[in-house]
Amino acid sequence: MIEAPDISWGALSPLLLVFGAACAGILVEAFVPRSVRHPVQVGLALVGTLGALAATVLLAGAREVTAVGALAVDGAALFLQATIAGLGALSLLLFAERSLDPARSAFVVSAAVPAGSPRDRELATVPRVQTEVYPLATFAIGGMMLFVAANDLLVMFVALEVLSLPLYLISGMARRRRLLSQEAAVKYFLLGAFASAFFLYGLALVYGAAGSVRLSEVREAVGTDGGGVLLVLGLALLVVGLLFKASVAPFHTWTPDVYQGAPTAVTAFMAACTKVAAFGAILRLLYVAFGTAEWTWRPLVYAAAIVSMVVGAVLGLTQTDLKRMLAYSSVAHAGFLLTGVIGLGAAGTGSGLAATMFYLLAYGITTLGAFAVLTLVRDGDGEASHLSQWAGLGARSPITAAVMTLFLLALAGIPLTAGFTGKFAVFRAAIEQGAWPLAVVALLASAVAAFFYLRVVVLMYFSEPVADGPTVGVPGVPTTLVLAVTAAATLALGVVPGAVLDLAGRAAIFVG
């Protein structure tokens, strides 16, 4: 007879709520009449994610390893889970926007129809609404929340797949520019599968060396057999798999294409939440399992950080499409985040963990807001994301332009915005650990990146409006809410970040 493992259900409540909502969503899809399905699905997904957010708040301070050591519920896990749940709920609101697209939804009803076929053209305008995205996105959110709490490489892999598969699907569901969207989905899937394979191979090698997939036991093995070839190789492969998800250069090549092709609400979701989840896993893997073998991962992360910052900042300069530009911005920010990862001291000291977590929150909010603004600016063919179409937007739609400017300044790291506080925190963590050359590179990369954010501001305010420019849609309640929350948070985290920084500092604990 198999004994049931001892499971702390309370500590798992955030995960259970989200996965419960996702499973219920599938049933809704099957049993609820089409006419009310959309509101029910949106409501259910929001209840799941916001419930999970509330549950993490109630759990604050918990520190335990549960489910036979497979899951760690600690400060860092809860902080990141709350971040993912909150940003996920905001993304779901963007999904639920129905007043911007003339066909009442940004998602195509049937994603498998070949692009350009008569049926496909017909689908572009049918008023039917795609509701499967909500359970899919909820599953992805659940997977991300599991990812950051995984205390076991195998659970981490399962979580990786649970978060990735729904993302591959919903990337291909854009109602407009179907071909780009399908291309994005296929590209993301193929490269993502590669990355998963890397991760799995690394897992196997680490298991071979350590005899366990539990992070704490890997740590012991690292302590006794630090230089083992299998371990080092396994670590490298695991990290490559994770860096792919975090879109760190040189594993970023999918990012611009997928960000551009996916429906903008999905891009916002990926840019904000996937980044948090991937970095959560990177932090846990490096700090918990390989914390005693810094010398093995430090050079790797150091190099990846520099490459990512330089590639993101320099290639971002050459982009003419806003979504692609924000994709390269995401690559650059991944490099800044790795700068924070370097800021972990030898004995688990240092402010690196807290700084990276704060940066994730700040970046997630800002980038989500920036993509939300992108959904507003439209022409006859859907969203107008080409840079030239944004010329003179400040004169035609001052509020939209002002909000976008706020997000761009925050991404550039100008003081009094969330971006500055985050940058300050991660650079401080890096300099404390003596990594000041890395911080200097990061600052120069920030200056280069600032130039392309600024270019958008220049276009919006200092250029004359183009003759047949795009219109700025009047957002419905969901998008308005997202914009209000993200803009207010971007300012608040810049002007009075004390409380949140303090929270991140107190949450910066890994058990295991």
Using CB under 8 A as the criterion, which residues of the chain lie in contact with another protein when the complex forms? 395, 409, 412, 414-416, 420-421, 423-425, 427-428, 431-432, 436, 439-440, 443-444, 446-447, 450-451, 454-455, 458, 461-463, 496-498, 501-502, 505
Beta carbon of residue 462, minimum distance to another protein (angstroms, whole number): 4
- Phi and psi angles of residue 337, each rounded to the nearest 5 degrees, phi first: -65, -40
Give the helix ranges, DSSP H, for 343-397.
Answer: 352-374, 393-396
Q: Determine the 3-state secondary structure of 202 from DSSP.
A: helix
Asked if 406 and 482 touch (Cβ cutoff 8 Å), the reply is: no
Q: Which is nearer to another protein, 295 or 436 (CB)?
A: 436
Beta carbon of residue 345, minimum distance to another protein (angstroms, whole number): 12
Q: Which is nearer to another protein, 138 or 417 (CB)?
A: 417
**Contacts of residue 142, Cβ cutoff 8 Å, sequence gap at least 6:** 15, 18, 19, 22, 162, 163
Q: Determine the 3-state secondary structure of 72 from DSSP.
A: strand
Q: Which is nearer to another protein, 450 or 509 (CB)?
A: 450
Beta carbon of residue 441, minimum distance to another protein (angstroms, whole number): 10
CB burial string 90-126: b at 16+ within 10 A, e below: bbbbbbbbbebbebebbbbbebebebeeeebeebbee
Nearest alpha-carbon partner for 412 in 375, 438, 445: 445
Beta carbon of residue 351, minimum distance to another protein (angstroms, whole number): 8
CA 77 to chain centre: 15
Asked if 246 and 281 touch (Cβ cutoff 8 Å), the reply is: no
Q: Which is nearer to another protein, 394 or 512 (CB)?
A: 394
**Contacts of residue 109, Cβ cutoff 8 Å, sequence gap at least 6:** 123, 126, 128, 129, 130
Beta carbon of residue 461, minimum distance to another protein (angstroms, whole number): 6
Nearest alpha-carbon partner for 132 in 46, 31, 28: 28
Asked if 498 and 122 touch (Cβ cutoff 8 Å), the reply is: no
Q: Which is nearer to another protein, 64 or 502 (CB)?
A: 502
Q: Which is nearer to another protein, 60 or 444 (CB)?
A: 444
Beta carbon of residue 318, minimum distance to another protein (angstroms, whole number): 17
How far is the C-alpha of 143 from the C-alpha of 139, rounded, in Å?
6
Q: Which is nearer to another protein, 315 or 438 (CB)?
A: 438
**Contacts of residue 152, Cβ cutoff 8 Å, sequence gap at least 6:** 69, 70, 71, 213, 214, 215
**Contacts of residue 278, Cβ cutoff 8 Å, sequence gap at least 6:** 147, 242, 243, 245, 246
Beta carbon of residue 392, minimum distance to another protein (angstroms, whole number): 10
Beta carbon of residue 87, minimum distance to another protein (angstroms, whole number): 22
Beta carbon of residue 304, minimum distance to another protein (angstroms, whole number): 21
Q: Which is nearer to another protein, 100 or 412 (CB)?
A: 412
Q: Determine the 3-state secondary structure of 149 from DSSP.
A: helix
Q: Which is nearer to another protein, 369 or 497 (CB)?
A: 497
**Contacts of residue 232, Cβ cutoff 8 Å, sequence gap at least 6:** 296
